[in-house]
Structure 1
């Protein structure tokens, strides 16, 4: 018999805040976490915009010997996971006695790799890389570090699926729990916020530009005048569990994951199509058994790019038909959090659902011919909804869709 999968804890490290309360307020107020970076301009970036992600201070929690193994995104992930475990009331004694797993989204470790290899080239010796370099530079750095720090003995896996990584991590954890292979999994996504991890994106002109250099106006999903994404970063962690197991340990049950859909475009490596995302939505709806009119809100992947936003709008319209479901992209406030986004956007939407509002799609002023087919909400509204759908799509045509229901 298939088991129910619930969310019992959340933690986040974001440009909108580093606590759930801070992030909730930022979402409600339409606050932008995006800044103008003179550092990036001076370094040779075409676009001056990025999310302002606070540095994490692990000194009170993690000893120096272990910190040397942790690159920037692993530090963000530690802080988010620490809070998520606390909010789920998952104490270390319980973790030590049970097989708690971890599946976390991450798809690059650019700065740590670059710095280690720079030292190798500078000194002409591999020893110059440092003893922590290998653990910092592997894509699995987040899961290997967190599994050791929190003594997690269940599945230990990194979901590396471009900008769908965070969503895929939750989907994979959901499948394992649903089919009885795990009772509890720490899921999430992390993204380094330094300039080196995204320099090549800027090089192919993926990032937003504005003549007035107004950072808060740069990310404008679905808007007619969008011209590129804004890079972000941080980390987001969700604790997901078997419903019966969560009840037995007296966990706070926040919501239920009722469906996961996924697909591949099987097409261009960077240019999305409509068919692939539409299949992901369709599979998720079929698998969940949810009627489309039960869905009160769609958190769109929409990154503020011309083609990506238009193709997603067409996919949503194709699946939802005449039902004008409210749609926004929280990337209008955060920029694109990349490997983190699929997880953070579940948390952002959970905060909306639990507090009866929909955060507005900031900077949405005019649709174009292709984005006019969806019901984009431009400003925060008071709204009650009990079921939402969240999309995440990535390079290589990887698509992931989750449906979550309030409890």
Structure 2
């Protein structure tokens, strides 16, 4: 195991050894006091890739010069623009290319996928989720349950953390699945919890639910582009993710979806349908009966929002160049180094930070959530004023995401020094 040091020289040495170091120059950084910020909120909105501008400009140029003909005669024709995402995204989420597509936004896609995969009966109607899931998921699940005539108090089974613990235990999730038994219609959880950064054991949870005949879906807003995923091999029924966090596509941008191969190329699956999910070769015959595309595109409703998709495609080019294996390798080291810095600074200044993200590297990714015992909002404000862009969550937690694509080890060192000054200033 590497012996870390809380020194500028050591941080710079790690940067020199980092083969992803050149990719930092591929992104635009906001500036505070004339300097690039230390950016810890890629788990909320990724930085803008410099090459994104050209991808958008290309579409604007084609629109200007070709107008409607851009659908077929642009360099990247608009009518099949979304097809360019299948191959690179399949590598990121562990899928077959035909199981993946992009459309709409995250919660919209989860609702559309629930049409297909939450089919409750009088007996089998319950959904298992984690307690205090991201609010949008809570609203989505509760509204779906009510839409089908059930009371969320009866239908939603929330797996809680044990008293006094900050993380869920896999055995508790598996036990909840077992106890719900043949009443269980669906397991629908966040693969990586937004608050504490915990990575759930998606493989084990999926396998357990499938053994009892339930469907399984994952919200991968904090997972896609951040953790190793094997959605096809795990037998997941469906998943969806946003693209603007770890995949840097821009604010509120398009979502990706996964639908397992076993559900594809079926006309009888319940689904809300629209023109762009209809057989591509027959789409312009304007036929009255829907014939689904043989892949995940069958869940498309409307044509591709190509201006929105352009920055996502630009960012995926970076993922193609690097590969998830190298990103995850750096992620593990830089997250561990940040953890070391935090604990070392806490020791220096006599503060009792509590890192509520799991210490086991296999249960965490590019995020450390830190409970600032004895420190308040003033410390967060000090960090923000001095060039550290981080995230505050009530009651007293800051979330730090050292994204491997553009964060440096030197960033981690300088953050530690600012943290120390902020604590000393507020004492």
Q: Please, what TM-score do these two structures have when normalized by structure 2?
A: 0.23
- Structure 1 or 2: more strand by fraction: 1
Q: Please, what TM-score do these two structures have when normalized by structure 1?
A: 0.24
Structure possessing the higher radius of gyration over alpha carbons: 2
- Structure 1 or 2: more helix by fraction: 2
